[in-house]
Structure 1
């Protein structure tokens, strides 16, 4: 069954929601109240149609024609032999032989007639059986169509009610929420206090085989690209990639339909292809760690041109300073690219800074150049991910299989460091391999063991 058909069937399942304003969240409780789509009937129709296709082939349909043509040929041959016998004047010397030949030809003709009769009978029975099966399939499909139409209408009415109730819930929530606290020199979002969600959660079309990757939206899109989403899966050794996939909407991203692939190189890995899962898209360019170097790569997705700028020569790469926790190391995550309201940053570590995190602003010119740099006391291998919001770096660590904790922050405006945030993220999979903040929708985009997830950041 095609993905589009699966999507239609999913849309036809009616769901009951109830909502309430608890604190600062609109909560929806999900309950399936109607019978599931009778998929077994659809499978039976598909099996019957396949059987009919196997039984009624073009080869079988021409078998009678071949038998009739063969019979016509043998009858003409018999007529010629009988005419020859009538013209013979040999004193009955060859008459007995000629009559025996004619007798054999008559036997062969009779065999062809018998085979033709048997084939005709078989085809008559096949025709009757096929007609019966076709009638059954038509009745079943009519039943399924009526079921689907009924459920879609129920779902549409239910969606209207849900939309109305959730809008009312949102109005109630907004009417009681305090105004954001403006911070001098910051974005006006206030202080981060919580991360809610997940808001979306879906396995990519690549399946569970590819556990490292990245996805999200262009943080500074051009006109017409505002709704596009991008996805990169490290398809070689869970470490390397050589193309970026784009979708026109969130729904097509989740369903994996109608993608556009843009290749950095025809081979993988090679010079200037992707190494590691920590990358971002900004102004139609992909920023990432160039393969086997301590350089920043900028890949223009329109011109397919690659520009690079080198980080300090003692920068860790090739698993020297990756993200990690006691249970595992996230391979080739020495460099982490992030976006916020002001642009692109690269997060890395150097030996001269004792493996501690360094933040460098990447000026998104062509070629890119390195801007202002900040040094921190956070050792890179004690964190599992980093992201930037309004000029503040946040770092996460692995608590257990269910919880990831935002424990650290560094404010690039005030140079203030904190290790006591204790903001929990509820995980859907064990390991979060990629995390980035989108300043356009204030969501965290996460790639977690082959699943793409979003979370909403809450501010005060």
Structure 2
């Protein structure tokens, strides 16, 4: 009886872990499905904006939905009305997309209705596999151990792939009333001279900004690794080389020199990315390389009140070999190219303990190269500006982790 009980407990633990894993996948696909609904709505309102790549994405993502549901049914060794209905609807939707030869308004409306039905059924499936969601804002966990599939919003607001430099995302420390705000700026060269703010994700997708900022002469920026934090944009300026801050409420500018930062080391994918701004649960950071560290990345904590550097940590990662870097819970993560479609998070440095660690966490790129990658603590997502496209990722941390303290 004891042996049978132990076997049953073990089997139950295995099934629970599967449920947790599939819950995460369902959440990712639900977010993708909502994005698809928005994109089809845009096509319906203005078919002239349609590009063939958008429709190909529908086919790819529907196949992913169908594979996930089939895997769920097989793994759980059971079924349910919600799972059966979801599988049937996805299969039906795939057939419609494959048979569609013309893309007039009536067909687009039919697709959008099908997406809404799929979204509702998928939400029911989520309830059946419901587990606790990540504790947003809490850092009681280990390093990043997984990154979800890329969720592609759409081509940028300029509808132009030549605008491959830039960034997008959410305010990492939003002020009251602007928790849903998104920002976006893109350019044909590694520079910063204007950007737009959107009241929510829907307005971003609809390209309907509520305000537009054009940086005045003398305050233009360079590079691409800028962010919005506490209703202020932080970016890099040149001539002279320094970090800059624009308060979006008062339109007041501040600039500070970073004496140790070198203009000789940048990331692989983009020139002039000397100061990389990042924000996480611990505050505001800037990452750069120095001559003193022979090109290795240095993490600097920014005092938000004085807009000065309050502390520094030298890592073991060379900036010129990295694709990009970001901060999450006081830990710096560096990426490097894998193959044409894969990036790898290969290195981490914990500013609290001074420990560095080599990782191998794959991150699938939508396009070959990208200009901006940063983490947002308000939703625990990565935001990437990938060859002109809005791309985001869910992040999974190691929860089976024992804290390490330095005395």
TM-score, scaled relative to structure 2: 0.72
Residue aligning to 1:171: 127
Classify 1:154/1:448 alpha carbon distance in 2 versus 1 (closer, same or farther; 3 Å). Answer: closer
The aligned counterpart of 2:43 is: 6
Shift of 1:261: 0.9
The match for 1:399 is: 338
2:148 paired with 1:214: no
Aligned in 2, Cα 1:5/1:441: closer, same or farther, shift over 3 Å?
closer
- Answer yes or no: is 1:242 the counterpart of 2:208: no
For 2:44 and 2:308, the matched residues in 1 are separated by 45
Distance in 2 (alpha carbons) for counterparts of 1:450 and 1:6: 18
Residue 174 (structure 2) pairs with residue 229 (structure 1)? no
1:308 aligns with 2:255: yes
Residue in 2 that maps onto 1:293: 240
| Runs of 5+ consecutive residues of structure 2 not aligned to the other structure | 1-39, 76-85, 399-407
Q: Give 1:450's aligned residue.
A: 388
Partner SS for 1:293: coil
Is the 1:338–1:436 Cα contact (8 Å) retained in structure 2? Answer: yes
Give CA deviations for 1:22-42 in whole Å, capped at 9, x if unaligned: 59xx99776152664955xx7
Task: Indicate which of 290, 295, 298 corresponds to 1:355.
Answer: 295
Alignment of 1:409-424 (within 5 A): 409-419=348-358, 421-424=359-362
Q: CA contact under 8 A between 1:9 and 1:37: conserved in structure 2?
A: no
Larger radius of gyration: 1
Please name the residue that 1:277 is paired with. 224
The Cα shift of 1:357 comes to: 0.8
Q: 1:189 Cα deviation (Å)? A: 4.6
How do 1:85-100 residues align onto structure 2 when only pairs under 5 Å count?
A: none
Residue pair 1:181, 1:190 contacting (<8 A) in 2 also: no
The DSSP-based 3-state class of the residue aligned with 1:277 is: strand
Asked if the contact 2:175/2:230 (under 8 Å) is kept, the reply is: yes
Q: 2: CA distance between counterparts of 1:416 and 1:258?
A: 42
1:403-455 deviation per Cα after TM superposition (whole angstroms, max 9, x unaligned): 10000000111111012x11011111111211000111111100111222111
Q: How does 1:115-154 map to 2 (within 5 A)?
A: 147=106, 152=109
- Per-residue CA deviations over 1:355-400 (Å, capped at 9, x if unaligned) read 11110111222x5121221111211111110011111100000112
- 1:76 corresponds to: none
Higher relative contact order (CA 8 A, sep 6+): 2
| Alpha-carbon spacing, 1:7–1:230, altered in 2? closer, same or farther (3 Å) | farther
Task: Decide whether aligned partners of structure 1 residues 181 and 434 sit closer, same or farther in structure 2, where only a CA change above 3 A counts.
Answer: closer
Structure 1 residue matching 2:225: 3-state secondary structure: coil
> Residue deviations 1:327-382, cap 9 Å, x none?
xx5201111111111221000011112111110111222x5121221111211111
1:152 deviates by 4.3
Match of 1:332 among 262, 272, 290: 272
Aligned to 1:31: 94
1:255 paired to 2:210: no
Structure 2 CA distance for partners of 1:411 and 1:302, relative to 1, 3 Å: same
Does the CA contact (< 8 Å) of 1:181 and 1:191 recur in 2? no
Instruction: Give aligned pairs, total.
Output: 329
**Residue 165 of structure 2 contacts residue 191 of structure 2 at CA under 8 Å; is this kept in 1?**
no
C-alpha displacement at 1:4, in angstroms?
Answer: 7.6
Q: Is the 8 A contact 1:230 1:244 kept in 2?
A: yes
Q: Distance in 1 between matches of 2:193 and 2:165?
A: 14
State the distance in 1 between where 2:134 and 2:181 align.
29
**3-state SS of paired residue (2:353):** coil
* Correspondence for 1:82: none
What SS does structure 2 have at the residue aligned with 1:279?
strand
- Tell me if 1:193 matches 2:145: yes
Output the CA distance in 2 between the equivalents of 1:392 and 1:5. Answer: 39
Structure 2 Cα separation of the partners of residues 5 and 163 of structure 1: 17
| Aligned twin of 1:322 | 266
**Structure 2 CA distance for aligned equivalents of residues 163 and 294 of structure 1:** 48
Residue 155 and residue 383 in structure 1: after superposition, are their counterparts in 2 closer, same or farther (change >3 A)? Answer: closer
Deviation at 1:241, TM superposition (A): 2.0
Residue in structure 2 matched with residue 372 of structure 1 by the alignment? 311
**How high is the TM-score relative to the length of structure 1?**
0.64
Q: Which residue of 2 aligns with 1:69?
A: none
Contact 2:221 2:235 survives alignment (8 Å): yes
